[in-house]
Amino acid sequence: MRKYAFVLMLLSPWIIGFLAFTAIPMGLSLYWSFTHYDLTSDPIWIGLSNYKFMFGIGGHADPFYWMSVKNTLWIIAFGVPLRVLFGMATAMLLTRPRRGVNGYRTLFYMPSIVPRVGSALVFVYLFNPLSGPINILLNKIPYVTAPLWFGDPRWAKPALLVLGLWGIGDAVVLYLAGLLNVPRQLYEAISIEGANAWQRFRYVTLPMLTPVIFFTVIIGVIDGFQYFDQAYIASGSATLGEPNGSLLFYGIWMYEQAFQSFHMGYAAAMAWVLFLAIMACTALLLITSRRWVHYGGGMS
């Protein structure tokens, strides 16, 4: 019994924190999601109206909701695979030279800890259509009309992808560690059987990296659903989501509803839907992971 008292004591900070800053707020926000709550007067119970408004069931519909969902899915659908591909490719390049790996790794990793507000501002400058270095370069290429990037709804999200790739270093470090963990004997064994470079990658490297891929995909999806800082900075004007709603991500719209329009009830409902969506995606990834993620060293 004394042991449990001791464990409880050790855990107490987390238990208090979990109750006070997670469980109770979640319960309250669930309740508020069924109310009209503008923070200046008391919440009014309105049943499912917030959820109906969100999904446009009967009567009024949120004109921006689906736009924000689409933008968010877009950034996840392109951002996460790009991160995996580039992270893996860069890490594989890093395993090739015998010397200097640490130096390169440091350089690649550094941008990923640079404050996102700062890096977003730098990229807004780099992508500045008229005087930004990127377009100055692009315009020198004949027959190329440089896009307006953050000024054009079609190019704003791709520009954010480039910004995301710049901060890929943490994934590179993970992949590199994963690659260095692959036992050499596996390569030797498959080489004896006459495998070429592609086969070595396909049958040794890739399976051995699947735990890291899985980890980065999960983190990428969870982060992607909450995409905010970069879009907030890149929109840059008083209207969030500019240009023309193309950067109106779920997190941005929820922020607007909660802390600009002070529609607390509706924002709580949006947050719950987001939470359920993240749970569903994570569960889906976990379930499918059994089919493609290989844990442990064996190749059998």
In this structure, what token pair is assigned to residue 206? 């890739």
Query: According to the binding rule CB under 8 A, does residue 92 interact with other proteins?
Result: no
CB of 285 to other proteins, least distance (A): 11
DSSP 149: G
At residue 285's C-alpha, the angle toward residues 284 and 291, to 5°, is 105
Residue of 80, 91, 160, 232 that binds other proteins (CB under 8 A): 232
Which residues in 12-51 contact other proteins (CB under 8 A)? 13-14, 16-18, 20-22, 24-26, 28-29, 32, 36-41, 44, 46, 49
Which residues in 122-181 contact other proteins (CB under 8 A)? 122-126, 128-131, 133, 136, 145, 148, 151-153, 166, 169-170, 173-174, 177-178, 181
Query: According to the binding rule CB under 8 A, does residue 247 interact with other proteins?
Result: no
Answer whether 156's CB lies under 8 Å from 71's CB: no
Q: Which stretch binds other proteins (CB under 8 A): 72-80, 183-191, 196-204, 208-216?
A: 208-216
Which residues in 107-126 contact other proteins (CB under 8 A)? 107-111, 113-119, 121-126
* CB nearer other proteins, residue 226 or residue 299: 226
Q: Report CA torsion sign: 273, 274, 278, 281.
A: positive
Query: According to the binding rule CB under 8 A, does residue 58 interact with other proteins?
Result: no
Residues with Cβ < 8 Å from 12, sequence gap 6 or more?
A: none
Which residues in 70-89 contact other proteins (CB under 8 A)? none
Query: According to the binding rule CB under 8 A, does residue 62 interact with other proteins?
Result: yes
* Single-letter residue type at 47: G
Answer whether 55's CB lies under 8 Å from 140's CB: no
Backbone angles phi, psi at 9, to 5 degrees: -65, -45
CA Rg value for the chain: 24
Which residues in 257-296 contact other proteins (CB under 8 A)? 258-264, 266-268, 271-272, 274-275, 278-279, 282
Answer whether 21's CB lies under 8 Å from 11's CB: no
> Tokens 């259509």 map to which residue?
129
CB of 202 to other proteins, least distance (A): 21
